[in-house]
Structure 1
Amino acid sequence: MNAPSPWLDAEQQDIWQDLLTVVIALPAALDRQLQRDSGISNFEYGALARLSMADQVTMRLSELARDCNSTLPRLSKMMDRFEAREWIVRRVDPSDGRYTLATLTDGGREKVADSAPGHVAQVRRLVFDPLTAVQRRQLGAALSSVAETVRREAAGGPTG
């Protein structure tokens, strides 16, 4: 019985290289646009946007860190900056004092609202505009499958 080759075939290698380009270059392109237009990073925008979509614009910092793929110390430093800019307020979670909640302020909502149009235009231009409707659906299905496997791996579960 032949063992599978440890190498990617030519088609897989081409797909992998394109995926690496997207994974590496897309966040950098989004960062440049957000820094230029709004003075914030893609990471900062992502945290603000997640808070803006949360129930009562409030999340536990531990959940926000997980959703942003961040460590709690990195997120806490960013929250210090956000609090100084009056974009968020932090308080102890009244339902469990071991947790800290972050709540988006009116100023934070305004920052998200001001930053969103340019960000969305950049996402459309880089990700969706080059694709047909069929390609968008195919990309969505493919990414959903890959993301599910990656999420299971990140959670420590079986991937195959």
Structure 2
Amino acid sequence: MANNAGFLVQEIIVAPGEHPLQYKYTFWYSRRTPSRPASTHNYEQNIRQFGTVASVEQFWRIYSHIVRPGDLTGYSDFHLFKDGIKPMWEDEANKNGGKWIIRLRKGLASRFWENIILAMLGEQFMVGEEICGVVVSIRFQVGYSQSCSLM
């Protein structure tokens, strides 16, 4: 199947016996060079999709093989967004939205990231339909090097 940009898109289906999620979610990764000025064009070039999941089992198959946020280098981000929504403000689904930013002391991002994405996937937020995704960002700042955003 091809999308509207002409790229081939693999349909993600839930196999018999798997536990479906309410929404499909896509993992993204981005890393930028701090010396380069940030721009929408640069950001879009640096962001990479690396998996889409529709069931609990599919999620764990991907998640169990990715590097934990606490082990990432600076200026790196992991994103988990509802399928079809890019993790950028310019995406129509995000244009009128907001975000919560939680700054974490070094060493806490991996556990917090896992807890918050499991809560999002498990529909534990009362406003789950309004949440587009979660981002964990690794930055080097005095005392704080990691943050997690709920968009």
Structure showing greater relative contact order (alpha-carbon pairs closer than 8 Å, 6 or more residues apart): 2
Q: Which has the larger radius of gyration?
A: 1
Give the alignment's TM-score, normalised by structure 1.
0.23
Q: Which has the higher strand share?
A: 2
Give the alignment's TM-score, normalised by structure 2.
0.24
